[in-house]
Structure 1
Amino acid sequence: MTKSIFVTQPVLPHLADFIPYLEQIWDNKILTNCGPLHQQLEHELCEYLGVKYISLFNNGTIALITALQALGLEKGEVITTPYTFIATAHSIIWNNLTPVFVDIDILTSNIDPKKVEQAITDKTVAILPVHCYGLPCDVELLKDLADKHNIKLIYDAAHAFGVKHNRKSLLNYGDLSVISFHATKVFNTFEGGAIVSHSLEMKTKVDQLRNFGIVDEVTVSDVSLNGKLSEIHSALGLLQLKDIEQTLNARKVIDELYRELLRDVDGITCIKRTASDIDNYAYFPIVVEDSFPLSRDELFEKFKEHNIYARKYFYPIMTDFDIYKKYADHTPNAKWLSEHVLCLPMYPTLELEICQNITKIIKGL
């Protein structure tokens, strides 16, 4: 291939359609501090996602940090997965809590509830699972564990925009759910994120924490961060939301084509996406088995020879980073998957012919 094909490409509306939103911002001269477009986007996202309350943030990492703070967790341990992006673990440390990494179910790539239960102690204050690749965790079993031990349950739902489980939004599970609107995500606002909560009281608290802990002009209740989303980012979100169904449908077509073309390739396994009622096809991860002629890393390099840039996502696992090695535990499934997984290019405008060429490279080995 002559042009470079990356693992993802941001979805962008037509620039001409964005101009009227910019003109509105220029006219009202409100750029941030929860202006009218920010409020409108919160309202429209609640309706589209089927959630009661949503609080927009400038990125998903600040939203994760704030979610843990909003639950008022005292010093203690938070059980999470080592098979995730670094922001998940960072949010725990930023709150002066201790991460406890437990293994995953290798078939789903999500945290294993059995391992979670084994790790719960009197120091445990919360569970922070990740809906990896937008695939739902075992939300029912994790809820039972949280209720049984009276601990909080916060979902890193960065990948899970628009996913439905048991006929309702996956974001309605847990005490709080955190979404990312980063440029690489299914729905983006350039940079951005959100916390989904289930009561007006919690939303009010989250909104205050998002704004330095300010309650009113003379009251500051908490030491917290500035996590507000600007009007320009909000405007982009409103425009993106108009075409989200076309985006999801295009992703579905690509997902189905990849699966058909790779169905009978020995040594290549496509991670199944059958756990949700409505999927968002956020990523297309394959597992390069030991029986395949090339290792995962060799296939990764082979793709680059053809100007195809796949992604080892997630690699390495959290506890292989020097800063998290002291928290390492026995997580063989996470370790194995991180060394065998490869995410193929997946974005709505990806040409089907390119998908076919990508699979021909795999089959030609």
Structure 2
Amino acid sequence: MTSWLAQWLPQDFDGFAWPWLLLALPVPWLLRRLLPPVADASAAALKVPFGKRLDGIAGRAGPARARGVGLLAWLAWGLLCIAAARPQLLGPMLQPPQAGRDLMLAVDLSGSMGEEDMQLGSDVVDRLTAAKAVLADFLDRRAGDRVGLIVFGQRAFVLAPLTLDRDTVRQQLQDSMVGLAGRETAIGDAIALATKRLRALPSGQRVLVLLTDGVNTAGALEPQKAAELARDEGVRIHTIAFGGYGAGLNVFGVPLRMPGGDDMTDEAGLKRIADITGGRAFRARDTDELVGIYAEIDRLEPVERPGQSVRPRIERYAWPLGASLALGLLAAAWPRRRLA
């Protein structure tokens, strides 16, 4: 039935939302056939030869006019059933907003992240507070990305799975604190956990940004082995070695470089992780450098994957519904016209 009707509809006709309602088309005919006839209370008690002329004077329709009214009523009912079935047309081709990458953030919460050697505005703050401020700004620029958050210390935990709700990720980051996952640093376990979360996603979209200020001192998996596993799963890792020169090494507000001051950060190990997975390794000794690094990651991991083109369905039940109403009104008005 729907295929027959489709021949009389526009080429962009996409079908009916509720085609089963078209089964109601023969309902009036079935009722007329199955139900007993109603006695005509208006039938004449006395038949006279000039009865038809009296009917015309009284405004009653003749047989031809009754057939015309019945045809209008049938057309109105058919259009009403078509409207109830909700015909739909395909709209013009649209391309939704571009989708982004799946990006996992891994943030170090070990004890050394509590070192107060970072400048944020006019205040001296600890490393974690500075990292939170920069990451919050980074999240604001990742519209269209699905972002997840892993924190690690002695162990690694997922605080937020991959989600488009960046506000939730930001809030989870703000609520984290130094030592939440232990005082040591399990870089290998953090990489392994991120790889496990990203492995089910399409290749080319699996990215991990790992921020730490120390060396691997805990965990069941060595960072280099974890990086090899990530490479095999198509996960690209950008590493950030973060940290200043340690607390108490400022003279009149000027940080002093001390011998061995950078030894607590395993820059060489983090660079090996990035090189193995095809990522980039960065070093940030202050907040300004960290801001520049995340801006560079924005350029390395752009939001450029286009969404799939779609054609929306447009409801067109109003057309047959309006035509049905017009035919119904015409059928109701027709019998009132007098015969000449």
- TM norm. shorter chain > 0.5: no
Tell which structure's C-alpha radius of gyration is larger.
Answer: 2
TM-score, length basis structure 1: 0.25
TM normalised by structure 2 equals 0.26
